[in-house]
Structure 1
């Protein structure tokens, strides 16, 4: 990723009743030149669609946009099979997939699937093992034997498909360090942005871990989930009393995001409606047709 290139996407609903809507919005975003669409992964809820089913169908109906499960519920998707899912989607779509990875959070729900509960430390160790193993099972080469604490495979043939970029939803210090060691990108939790305390205290952990591992911290992208209103007229204040972004006019959004890229090194933005809902048609249209082109133009060639 070049220094000032940013990706732009939107977050869609996984509700069973919204199945056709997310496919329609993904197709529209593809036509409008957005870079990615994202869906969450909560397989323990019967009212939700399977995230990778959504991504697969949507990629089959689009030409350029990438799909991201933000983030994969790893405890319910064992790493060797997740590797096969990701490489298959990549092969079928021409590489239009990003692997979002999380250590697992809602363990009371996750265990309803019959998945053993892991304590926080074990969950992070399994998370790192999974990223390493998924990468090893991509890109062809010799059969992989892996004897880890949580995953063991023997002479397993890698898929002849390049590894997808890995973005994490790391929150705690140990998982942030994993991001620095082995991931390609980070999505700050709780819709934290570049001015938040969460970003200021978390990103240095990623950078330190990357440097210790001999990696360039600048190669690890930060991609923000960004809920907010796109208003017809400018707002007097675009942030609330706690400093959280609330939105504004298209011009205010474009100014804010341009600054985020040029001054804070932001690598991407995923639009949500306030509260984390999927944007409606009007918001998605203004995002793709007004805000995104303005930011792209402002940062091009700088």
Structure 2
């Protein structure tokens, strides 16, 4: 099946365990800090060990600023569509357009009936879901005259007043596996959300896509109108996820995990690698336009609008895998720096949370692992900053002079990159100062966080700019 061309998104899928309520919220916040695009939460209202998902999502929305939110998935039989429309629009307004609506027909009939919900045959459940989607969309359509009137077999509204209107066009994603649900997805939905552990094999994605695409076309829609999402039951290699994106059109990958280390690794290592592989395949080796990372601070280190761009002396040229290797090496080095930066941020938050046992840490100091006590945090910060400085020094003294000689038109870009190196080094010095102060006075945690946030904003912006401008010249000239 084709690549539908959607931007890639990476997500954490959480279990709303009531016994670990604070931990679940902390994991959602970690997902945002790590740079994931979306956090989803299971919705099983009949499970007494779980928090109510709508309440949890609202709480998480108030505790985060950027990350998108969704249930995974809401069972329509226990969420009446008229009320669901108002709840979804309200959460979207309160979160400033960060909510998406994922729905299911209700797969646990005994549990649903035990809560007072209707018991439906599979066919009835699909028909009810279609009615529900139409009511929800009509309720959001505040531009149409009059109220909403729907007299179906499963839901009836008579003069329902429209509104409120969501802050953005909320996507309706459907958890579907069987042909009738897949055809409904193609006709009406904005996304298909299966779970890989529930599919018989990866080939089932191709089969599902074929049904959805045919139904979308018959309904006068484009198959690309339906985003393809996938819940992952375990960590998979970046190469396998890139194949799922390019061969089966998956553009949203949700890792179902409550392990903060897995979430951190998924964001810092897997997501960038998948994006690079997919971008290279889509452009024949040409770099994609850089995407500005979400800002953590309101402080601008430099004016990105004044950055010069490199001329392209060979428009339309495509590079062989051998030629691309030099540019990919730069990206690989940068990805290592991104991963290390994410680990540095995680260290600061672990110290802040007081989850580190200093006595146990002493026995591991010799290993220099990154999850011990304040001493190890200091040693790691020092080593990371030294690594970053060495990388920039190597570029300034060896790589950039070679590129200036090989391609003089790059000079304005190389000059700007060197200026940004100096600016980043000054921020590193600030991190050093705040770290020293923090070790002596734990009350300085806010200053340490602010310094690391500023380093994060500056470094991620710089790496993205450098890759976009230098990967093609490196493909032409090598190191």
Task: Give the match for residue 11 of structure 1.
Answer: 13
Structure 2 residue 78 is matched with structure 1 residue 99: no
Rounded Cα–Cα distance in structure 2 between residues aligned with 1:163 and 1:184:
10
CA shift, 1:4, in A, is 4.6
Q: How does 1:107-118 map to 2 (within 5 A)?
A: 107-118=109-120
Change (3 A) 1:99 1:4: closer
Q: How does 1:23-38 map to 2 (within 5 A)?
A: 23-38=25-40
Task: Give the match for residue 238 of structure 2.
Answer: 254
Rounded Cα–Cα distance in structure 2 between residues aligned with 1:193 and 1:122:
23
**Contact 1:192 1:199 (C-alpha < 8 Å) held by counterparts:** no
Rounded Cα–Cα distance in structure 1 between residues aligned with 2:228 and 2:6:
12
Rounded Cα–Cα distance in structure 2 between residues aligned with 1:38 and 1:87:
17
Stretches of structure 1 lacking an aligned partner (at least 5 in a row): 230-246, 248-252, 273-277
Deviations 1:31-65 (A, max 9, x none): 22211111111111211111111111111111111
Rounded Cα–Cα distance in structure 2 between residues aligned with 1:259 and 1:114:
43
Deviations 1:181-208 (A, max 9, x none): 0001111245357962322322211111
Task: Give the match for residue 162 of structure 2.
Answer: 158
Rounded Cα–Cα distance in structure 2 between residues aligned with 1:137 and 1:266:
30
Structure 2 residue 127 is matched with structure 1 residue 125: yes
The secondary structure found in structure 2 opposite 1:137 is helix
The secondary structure found in structure 1 opposite 2:250 is coil
Change (3 A) 1:26 1:135: same
Query: Out of 13, 38, 41, which is 1:39 matched to?
Result: 41
Structure 2 residue 66 is matched with structure 1 residue 64: yes
Structure having the higher strand fraction is: 1
The secondary structure found in structure 1 opposite 2:39 is strand
Q: TM-score, normalised by structure 1?
A: 0.86
**Contact 2:6 2:227 (C-alpha < 8 Å) held by counterparts:** no
Query: Out of 153, 171, 179, which is 1:173 matched to?
Result: 179
Structure 2 residue 39 is matched with structure 1 residue 55: no
Aligned CA RMSD, in angstroms, stands at 2.0
Change (3 A) 1:11 1:222: same
Query: Out of 243, 268, 272, which is 1:293 matched to?
Result: 272
CA shift, 1:289, in A, is 1.0
Change (3 A) 1:185 1:194: farther
Stretches of structure 2 lacking an aligned partner (at least 5 in a row): 284-479
Deviations 1:65-122 (A, max 9, x none): 1111111111011000000110000000011111111101110111011112111111
Task: Give the match for residue 373 of structure 2.
Answer: none
Rounded Cα–Cα distance in structure 2 between residues aligned with 1:294 and 1:190:
20
**Contact 1:15 1:49 (C-alpha < 8 Å) held by counterparts:** yes
Rounded Cα–Cα distance in structure 2 between residues aligned with 1:110 and 1:198:
28
Rounded Cα–Cα distance in structure 2 between residues aligned with 1:292 and 1:279:
18
**Contact 2:37 2:67 (C-alpha < 8 Å) held by counterparts:** yes
CA shift, 1:2, in A, is 7.8
- Structure with the larger RCO, 1 or 2 (CA within 8 Å, 6+ apart): 1
Structure having the higher helix fraction is: 2
The secondary structure found in structure 2 opposite 1:131 is helix
Rounded Cα–Cα distance in structure 1 between residues aligned with 2:205 and 2:275:
23
Change (3 A) 1:263 1:120: closer
Q: How does 1:103-252 map to 2 (within 5 A)?
A: 103-141=105-143, 142=145, 143-159=147-163, 160-161=165-166, 162-191=168-197, 196-229=202-235, 247=236
